[in-house]
Structures are given as structure tokens and as C-alpha cells.
Chains A and B, each alone.
Chain A
């Protein structure tokens, strides 16, 4: 019997299995063939299309729209995958509202862009369903490249290198490949274990070996990799999380949002997953939105996002904010946590209102207390475990050109590398481009 939303504390089984199943279905159900034809027909086949410019992986969107219109969704899928081998996941998780769909001329014309994301999913799904892998490997080059991290950047790099005839060994610290696609993406965006299915499909190219449980700095070292491989690509992501500076931050019930999200993604039965009655998520990015929506879907009664700056400064797009709001999440802006109260376990969070003067954020002194038996920290991830000797740019690995680090023979891309937004699609682009650069330098 479900415990209900009113059960106090952090408990599992707030909702029935049926409710949970219904809550965690696809955020956007896939398009049927006729829907896709109608939606694709709205594409104007723009000259030098703005949507392509807006796509970090430069997918030829008008071409794939036309291929859908012409009744060949698999050909459309190949057009996408040729530029973005993780086009299936990107179709699900890309903030299209700030990328291709924002640039779509129909957004300017009528506030209703071509549904590029959903159509990309339609096209890539049809390739995945067919079971075929439309790419093949070039003649073997005899070179082997080490890729560290099996997230989007690493997988994209590995696939492109394999396609070009190289062998690739991916060192992955976690038990499963996929990186944030597997452990970080909101469950309602990637259903039916899509991340693993996509990795399996990607590996069909051949020539890629994944060694899970292989941790840089422990089981392998950068110097060892440089010695044993023809090139190294680092795509280690941002494994660290920023700490919360507030009294009582160590109390029970306070945890990192990324861990909470990962638990949801890895749960074999959502009914076993505990969630608070009153959840407060600290932060303003996509992670904060994902964690808050998940809490709500698991049955939390009250979920609040507390963000220290104004709404405009939130990392989550307006679309993501609306998504949270539509699930009943309350968004509080200009509040910062000062203390978490409770005897051992969190009961309340005390937030102080803030105001900004000349870009400087200051507490106003006025505070408010919210019931909070669970506090999720979503205040950013940081680079952790980067090998010694790599030049950094701010808090990330410095790169030049297509991901060249300060050490010869070592490339980096994805969230761990400086430059570009921390998006799956950007990581794919960086991995792919680094692969082309590695190939060029190995075959020069």
C-alpha cells in the first residue's frame, strides 16, 4: 500500500507502482509516422539554415526533415548520426529550446518552431529499431587510442576513431558506460534504458573495448596511457560536487542532487526509492530542475527550488523552469541557504533573501523557514581527479583547437575541458572533433 504524500520524513513507496510507472513515462512520447510527416513538413528548408548553425554538432536539419517528408526516416537518422553518433540521446535531452528550435525561423514567425528534437528522435529511433548500424570501419591503421571516460564525449570520440580504422580502449570508472547519459539524465527523458541500448548500438561499429572499473589515477595513470597508446583522449567529466556552505549542512537528509538523480536512474524498482515529504533543492540549473521534478514524481508533497539569484540568471532554460512549475514545483529566487535545522536530521531549512548590487549578491538579513526533511544540493559540479601536469583554464582542462591539451598526444573534451556549454551535444561535438584531430596527427 502506498504511503502517500503526507508520510513524514524520507520514505519510499509514497505512490503506488502504477502511479510511479505512469509518472516516469516519456516526457514527450515518440511521434507516430503521420505526426512526423506533418511536423517535418513544417520545415521551410531554409538556406544556410539557422538551426544548423545553432546545433553544436552541425546536424543538417533541413536535409533530415526532407528525408522524413520523403518517407525515409532511416535515411534521416543516418544524416543525424553521421554528425552526432549520440543523436538519439541528444534528441531526448538537448535543450532544443535554446539551440536549434530557438533558431528555427518558425519560432520567429509564429512562436512555434519545427519540433526538431522530437523529429530527430523519430528518425534516430527508426535506425535503432532497424537494428542496423549504418557506419563501417576504414582499413585498420594499427593505432590504438585510449579514451578515459565512457560518457558522451568519450563515446563520440571512440566511435569516430573506430570508424577511421583505429582501435580504441575506453577506461570507465563506473560499472556501466554512458556517463551522465546513464547516471545523470532525467529518467523521464530517457526511458526504457535507452542510454545502454544506444551504447550497445554504437559499439556495433567494432574496434572499441570498454574496461569498466578502470579509474584514472588508480588503476591507470596518464603517463602509463601515453606510453601504451598512440594517443589519449580525456573525457572524465566533472566528478566533484560543490559543497553547501550553511550551518547544519552535514545533517541527515542533506545530499547531492546528482547522487539522488543517479539513484533514480539506477533503481530497479522506483517504489523502493525514498524521497522526502518536503524537499528543497538548492540551485538553479538543469540538475536542480531534474532533481525537483523527480522528487515530485516520486510523491513528495512539497518541492521547492531555492535559487540565490534572480530568475533570469538561472541555468535552467525557461522551458525547464516551466516544466518544473507544471509538475507543481515551487521556484523561489533570490534566496540563499543559511542554516539547516533539526535534531540530527533535517526538519527545516532557513533561507535568507538576497539582493544584487552591481553584480554583488548580498543577504538582506530577512529570512524565511521552510519545512525540509530532504535537502538536495545542486550547486554545480567540478573537475576532480585531473592528472598532474595538465594545464588548467580556470577550473577545467585547458584545450586548444580540437581539444589539444598542454601535453602532446593528449586530447580532452566534454565537461572536463574548458570552453563550450556543459551539454551532451557539446560533448559529442568535442569528442568527434578531437577524434578527427587525433586521426590527422596520427596519419600525418
Chain B
């Protein structure tokens, strides 16, 4: 892959630069990979934060390397590990937990904390964001760029279709109706709603299933429940948005171009990660609102995004330094600044109590929707052999949306595949 070459070069350069500085004052050197999944200038934000940290902590030197999307970052970190060049810490997909554990790659934060203040810090985050980072009572992932799925709606389009621009759909039925109304009123020019079905289809499907009161996996990551009637009903509803209501385009909808679709007003509503909020705010030249996802029997969205992990194959000194860095990065003021810059959630209640974020939320109400939705959230789909299990579900969702299979057939097949893969892990 050609992406490797510049990476190797930059790693080399980083090594050389690092070596030069080490001779000067011998700081602890940390390498961190991190992903950006929503585009935009997030790398600048991270670089700025790292610079601030280094100014405050001259004894620690952090090399933050942007590594692509979540999958790329996992590959980079794992390859570096296999090459004997383990990074000290990384931001990786929150759902990589089981894989990282199976590879014996990471350490629990419980074994790193020393003081009471640090122990308190471990408990300072929203519990909903910790679900994907904890296993058997130990904490392995610290939430950083975390999101949920929210509904973005175009108020101008609602008004043009004769709907109340200030009222987003409350439930499935309303969403289908409102979306169909927009479609009709625009004479087929504008779609009512788009839910992305490439990239992370399983994630969107989890929201539908959870709104229908159904969780797709067991807490210990060894079982999945894809073919439950509630799950089938959820997928049937998703398919019906295109098939019956003519409110959503046929076939799959691309994750990567969806935001552009919304900004160019080719759809009146979209489901997308909160991580897009700041970008939509700066690009949209119409009035838009952000709401919690609609409900069937309950509200619901999976959480998503990246956690900090500390790697095992590093010295104790480096692990301590990594923790200092992570604590600094997730402190309320930084969490608030990060949330304002990106749209990702402030990861702790304290972040929303900072003046900066409080003022921001007051001025721009959509910024609080993700937080408010957190109490209705569920952990992102994460199991042993997660790559295969998620792929099975992705395929099922796409097969149903493209009309290759009925939702029931597709989910039954995904369930069988997942069970085959997970057989050895049942406790």
C-alpha cells in the first residue's frame, strides 16, 4: 500500500527529531496515533492541544501522528507493535477493546493510577461512555472523541413543505410521514431523510434496534442477537423508508458524501455522528436543527468514537507519562474546547460545567443534544472477533437495503455467521 511509504518516512523523521531532542534535556518521548473519521481540520486542533501540553510539561514529548480513519489507525498501531516499535498510547476505536485485549496489547488504567485524585479522575466520565472501555470491572479505554448519532434537520425545507420548522420527528411514524411530505412537496427534488449505510451500517442499525428496545449483543462480547424479531422489525422499518414511504433513496447511502448531501439540501434530514456538527454549522447556509433520534418504544443511539488506550509493551515511566497526557487531554477545559471545535461530546459532566462550554451550549443549543441523548445510549457493537461480526451485520443491512434479501433472511444469515465465529468464545 502506498500510504505506508510517507508513514515510514514520517516515522523516521519523527525518530530523528526525537533523538535530537533527547540529547538536549532527555524528556520522556511518547508516540500517539489518532484517527479522524469526519474530515475537517481536526488534525490542527490536535496539534494545537499537543503543543499546549508540551509547553506545560517540558519533560514530556508527544509525537501525535494522524493515521487515517479508525480502521487505518488500528492497522498502523498494530503494525508498529509487530515491528517492535509499539506506540505508548493511541486514540483508537472504542470497540477495538476485545481485539486489543486478545492481542494482549493494552494495560488497564486501574493498574496505572496511583493517587486518589487519579482514581477519582477514572470515575469522572459519563458512565454511558465507559461501557465500551470496561471489561470485568477494569477500565481500559478513556473516552476522548466520542459521539452519538443525532438527527440533523433542515428547518427551511420543513417550512417549505408546510411542516413546523421547529418540530423534529418524535417517533418512527412521524419521521416517515414528515420525510414523505418533504419529498412530495418538493416534487421529487429533495429527499426526506437519509441514513448512511456504508462505512458503519452496523452502527446505524444498532440505533434502530435499540429504539425498538433491543440490544444486539451480550455484555461480555461473546453472543449476538441479530435475528430477534425486534431487530428484524427495526431493519424492516429502515428498508420501508425507501420502499414504502418513498422518503429515502434506494440502495446504500454513502457515509462519506452524506454531509455534503445535507449541506446541498438534497435531503431534509440526516442521521449522522455529532462529530459533524461544527462542520455543518459552518457550511450550511440554511437554518438547521439537531434533535435526538426518533423513538419506537424508546429513545436510543449507540455511542461511538475513539478512546485513549495505553500500550503494554512500554516502560513504566512512559506509561505514567502517557497517563499524565491523557489526564491533561480529558480535563474539563480541554474536553470543552475539543467539543466546541468539533462537535464531539464533552466527555465528563464537569466539561459541560466549564464556562466555555456552558456559554457555547447556551448560544448554540444543538451542542447539548448529544449529551442529553447520552442517558438513552447503549454501547457500540463490540464483541470478540468484532471485525467479522460487524462485517456480517454490515452485509445483512446492505443486502436488505439493496433488495437482495428480506430483512429476516439477511439477519438470520448474519446471526449464523456471527455464531460460527463466536463459537469458541462462549464462556
A interacts with B: no
Residues of B within 8 A of A (CB): none
